[in-house]
Chains A and B, each alone.
Chain A
C-alpha cells in the first residue's frame, strides 16, 4: 500500500485548482456533498436563538481554555499521570513520530491500527511507521478507502468525500483479494468491516486522535460513529493518542456544549453514535482495555499562533469542518487542491503556522471573504479577519515590525511593492490623482488586452471614458 505524503502545498495550488474546476465529475461530487452537509446542519439548528447562544458559549469556553493554556496543560499532565496515562511533548512532527516509534519499538510492535486522527496526518505518521517497517492501517471507513487508493483525505470529517461509490467499488474489487465488484453501499461497508475486524484483533498498538482533553479529570474524549475509535482505544495492548496542545479544556462541564456544537455542525447529527471518555489504562481486576495509554501533545507551530492575540483565535477550532462545507471555494476545488493536511478556510488560517507563511500564503488569497465560514463556525473564529491579516503578513517588509510570522513577507515582490508605492502616492495627493485619472480616462484606448491573471478568465479592465469628477461637474452645470 502506498504511503503518502510529503507536502509542497503551493507549488501547484493554482494548477490543481484549475484541474478540478475543469473536471465536471469532481465538481458534481463536491457540490452534492456540500449541499447534503449544509442541509443536515441546518436541520439541526432550527432555533436561531439557541444556535447563537450556544455558539457564544462555545466560543467563551474555547477562549477561556486558551487564555489559561499553560496552566491547563500542566494540570492535564498531572491528572493524566495520576490516572496512569503517560504524557509526551513534541515540538515538531519528527519529534512526535520519534516518540511513537520509541513506544512501538519498546513493545516490539509490528502493526498499528489507527482511528481517525488529523494530527497523525499532519505529522506524516503512516510514512514514519512504514520507514521503520511497521504497518499503520487506517480503520475509519473513509480513511481506509483513501489509504487503499494511495491518496490523502480531502475533508477532515469525510475523508473520501471526493470519491463516488463506483470508484470505491472498483477500488475494493481491485485491491482486496477475493472481493467482487459491487456498488451496494451496505455490501461495501460489510467488506471493510470484515477486513478490519481481524486487524483490530491482531494489532499491537491502537492510535487515535483526541477531540477534547479535560484538565480537571485527566480525561481524553473521542467522538465517532463507526466504533473503530473504540476498537483502536480498547482492543490493542497499547493505546497512543496524539493531539495538538490546543485541545485542552478546563472542566468536564465544558464538554457538553462543545460536543453538541461539534456533532451538529460537522455532520448534522444531534449526537454521534459514540462519545468515548478515557481516563486510564486497564486497572487490576479489569478484563479488557489497553495496558498502556500514552498521550502525545504536539506543538508544530501552534505556539506561534498563540503568541498573537488575533491569530490565537485560530486555535479555538474544534475541527468540525463546517467552514469547508459552506465555503464557495472549497466546494469548487475540493480538499486536495489545497495541498495541506487541513483544507478549506480553517486550513488556510492554521497551515501557515505549521508549514510557514512562505509555503502557504496563496491559500489566504483563495477566498472571496464572503464570510459564510464565519457565520457557521461553532466557536466564532473570525476567519475572514485572520485571512486578511495573513494577506497583509505575506506582503510585510521582512525584518520589520509588521512581519511577525515564519515566512512573513514571502508574497512581496519588487513589482508589486513598486506598484503599491505609486498607488499610495497617487491616492494620497489630490493634485496627482486628478492628473493621473485625466490621463487614464483619455488614454483608455491604450489599455493592454493582456492583463496577466486577470484576463485569463475575464475581460480586460478599461478605465471609464469620464471620471467621476467629470460626471459630477456635468450634472452641476
Chain B
C-alpha cells in the first residue's frame, strides 16, 4: 500500500511538540543509574547442565498441556508421521526449502498431504484458515525456566505457520535450550538483529475468560507437539 498524505499530520506534529514539551518542563529528578538486570539474572543462575534444562523445559511445557517427545536427528521424521496418523490429520504445512521439510518429503508419506507455504498469504488465506490441519516449524531455541519456545519466523517459515493450523509441531534441538529469557536474548544478540516478528510460545492457545475455567484452543493452535531432537550419538534409540 502506498502512503498518501496524512490527514491528521498537523495535529500530530502539534501533539508531539506539546507532549514532549510538557514532559521536559516537568520536575527533573536526580539522574538514576541503569537498573542492573544482568546482576539479577547472574545471581539467580541454577548452574545446571543441559539434561537438567531439558527436564525443566519439558515439565513447564507439559504443565500447559503440551505433548513432548524425545527423538533423534535420524528418527524424528518417522515419529512425526506416526503422530500425524494417530491424530488423524489429513495434511501438514511445511516451509519451503528447509532441510527438515525435505526430510519429510523424502519419506513420501502415503496418507498425508504435505502442503508448502510457498505463496504470499494474500493468495491462499482461506485455504490456510479452513483446510490446513497442522504445521511443522523449526524452533530457534528455547527457555528452560518457563518452557518457552523461541520462534523467529522467516520467509521460508512465516509467522502464521505457528498460529493458524489447529495442531502445531515444533522441532527443537536440545542443544539450543537457554536457562532463562535474559540469557537467551543476550547469548543470541537479539538487540542487534531482531526480526520483524519474534515469538515466545508456551503451550497451545488458551483462555480462562469464562468463569476462570481454563480452556485450550482459544484462537491459535489447540495442540502443541514438541519434538526434542537429541544428537544421535548421545541419545541412541530415543524415538518412542
- Type the 1/0 row for B13-33, where 1 means its CB is closer than 8 Å to any CB of A: 101101110111111010111
Asked whether any CB of chain A lies closer than 8 Å to the CB of B11, the reply is: yes
B196 touches A278 (CB 8 A): yes
A226 touches B202 (CB 8 A): no
Q: Contacts A217-B191, A286-B158; is A88 near B12 (CB within 8 Å)?
A: yes
CB within 8 Å of B: which of A68-83?
A: 69-70, 73-74, 83
Identify the stretch in A12-20, A90-98, A394-402 within 8 Å (CB) of chain B at 4 or more residues. A90-98
What A residues does B169 contact at CB under 8 A? Answer: none
B23 touches A303 (CB 8 A): yes
A226 touches B196 (CB 8 A): no
**A306, closest chain B residue (CB):** B26
CB within 8 Å of A: which of B82-101?
A: none
**A143, closest chain B residue (CB):** B209
What A residues does B29 contact at CB under 8 A? Answer: 67, 309
- Cα–Cα distance between A252 and B192 once the two chains are bound (Å): 10
Q: Contacts A141-B209, A259-B181; is A64 near B158 (CB within 8 Å)?
A: no
CB within 8 Å of A: which of B174-212?
A: 180-182, 185-186, 190-191, 194-212
Asked whether any CB of chain B lies closer than 8 Å to the CB of A102, the reply is: yes
What B residues does A185 contact at CB under 8 A? Answer: 210-211, 213, 215
CB within 8 Å of A: which of B196-234?
A: 196-213, 215, 217-221
Contact residue among B20, B190, B194, B215 (Cβ-Cβ distance under 8 Å from A70): B20
Asked whether any CB of chain A lies closer than 8 Å to the CB of B147, the reply is: yes
Asked whether any CB of chain B lies closer than 8 Å to the CB of A292, the reply is: yes
B218 touches A227 (CB 8 A): yes
Identify the stretch in A269-277, A333-341, A441-449 within 8 Å (CB) of chain B at 4 or more residues. A269-277
B219 touches A226 (CB 8 A): yes
**B11, closest chain A residue (CB):** A95
A277 touches B198 (CB 8 A): yes
A330–chain B nearest beta-carbon distance, Å: 16
CB within 8 Å of B: which of A17-72?
A: 32-33, 36-37, 50, 53-54, 57, 60-61, 63-64, 67, 69-70
Q: Contacts A185-B211, A273-B201, A287-B117; is A63 near B196 (CB within 8 Å)?
A: no
- Type the 1/0 row for A454-475, where 1 means its CB is closer than 8 Å to any CB of B: 0000000000000000000000
User: By DSSP majority rule, is chain A's interface helix, strand, loop, or mixed?
Assistant: helix
Interface size of B in residues (CB-CB distance below 8 Å): 82
Asked whether any CB of chain B lies closer than 8 Å to the CB of A265, the reply is: no
Q: Chain B CB within 10 Å — which of A227, A228, A250 has the most? A: A227
A225 touches B4 (CB 8 A): no
What A residues does B160 contact at CB under 8 A? Answer: 234-235, 288
What B residues does A74 contact at CB under 8 A? Answer: 20
Q: Contacts A190-B217, A234-B159, A245-B19; is A158 near B11 (CB within 8 Å)?
A: no
Contact residue among A160, A197, A200, A287 (Cβ-Cβ distance under 8 Å from B155): A287
Q: Contacts A273-B204, A287-B155; is A189 near B26 (CB within 8 Å)?
A: no
- Type the 1/0 row for B78-122, where 1 means its CB is closer than 8 Å to any CB of A: 000000000000000000000000000000000000000101110
Asked whether any CB of chain A lies closer than 8 Å to the CB of B38, the reply is: yes
Q: Contacts A67-B31, A273-B206; is A234 near B15 (CB within 8 Å)?
A: no
Contact residue among B33, B199, B210 (Cβ-Cβ distance under 8 Å from A145): B210
What A residues does B60 contact at CB under 8 A? Answer: 270
A225 touches B211 (CB 8 A): no
What B residues does A276 contact at CB under 8 A? Answer: 197, 199
What A residues does B190 contact at CB under 8 A? Answer: 217, 252
B40 touches A57 (CB 8 A): yes
Q: In the complex, which range does the number of interface residues on chain A fall in?
A: 35 or more
Asked whether any CB of chain A lies closer than 8 Å to the CB of B73, the reply is: no
A282 touches B196 (CB 8 A): yes
Asked whether any CB of chain A lies closer than 8 Å to the CB of B146, the reply is: yes
A283 touches B196 (CB 8 A): yes
A226 touches B19 (CB 8 A): no
- Cα–Cα distance between A73 and B147 once the two chains are bound (Å): 33
B201 touches A274 (CB 8 A): yes
Q: Contacts A61-B35, A90-B15; is A227 near B205 (CB within 8 Å)?
A: yes
A275 touches B200 (CB 8 A): yes
What B residues does A133 contact at CB under 8 A? Answer: none
Contact residue among A57, A61, A73, A219 (Cβ-Cβ distance under 8 Å from B20): A73
B220 touches A288 (CB 8 A): no
- Type the 1/0 row for A225-237, where 1 means its CB is closer than 8 Å to any CB of B: 1111011001101
- Cα–Cα distance between A142 and B212 once the two chains are bound (Å): 11
Q: Chain B CB within 10 Å — which of A37, A235, A291 has the most? A: A235
What B residues does A230 contact at CB under 8 A? Answer: 159, 163, 199, 219-220
B217–chain A nearest beta-carbon distance, Å: 7
- Type the 1/0 row for B39-71, where 1 means its CB is closer than 8 Å to any CB of A: 011001000000000000000100010000000
What A residues does B23 contact at CB under 8 A? Answer: 69-70, 73, 245, 303, 306
What B residues does A150 contact at CB under 8 A? Answer: none
- Type the 1/0 row for B112-134, where 1 means its CB is closer than 8 Å to any CB of A: 00000101110001100100000
Asked whether any CB of chain B lies closer than 8 Å to the CB of A165, the reply is: yes
Contact residue among A67, A69, A89, A139 (Cβ-Cβ distance under 8 Å from B219): A139
- Cα–Cα distance between A279 and B60 once the two chains are bound (Å): 28
A95 touches B129 (CB 8 A): no
B220 touches A274 (CB 8 A): yes
- Cα–Cα distance between A163 and B211 once the two chains are bound (Å): 7
- Cα–Cα distance between A378 and B121 once the two chains are bound (Å): 40
Asked whether any CB of chain A lies closer than 8 Å to the CB of B8, the reply is: yes
A-B contact list, 9 entries, CB within 8 Å: A60-B35, A67-B32, A91-B15, A91-B18, A234-B163, A235-B121, A238-B1, A251-B34, A307-B25
Minimum-distance CB pairs A-B, first 3: A227-B220, A142-B209, A227-B205
Given contacts A186-B215, A254-B35, A256-B180, 16 further A-B contacts (CB under 8 A): A61-B35, A67-B31, A89-B12, A95-B15, A141-B210, A145-B209, A201-B129, A226-B220, A227-B205, A257-B182, A267-B208, A273-B64, A273-B201, A275-B148, A276-B197, A279-B198
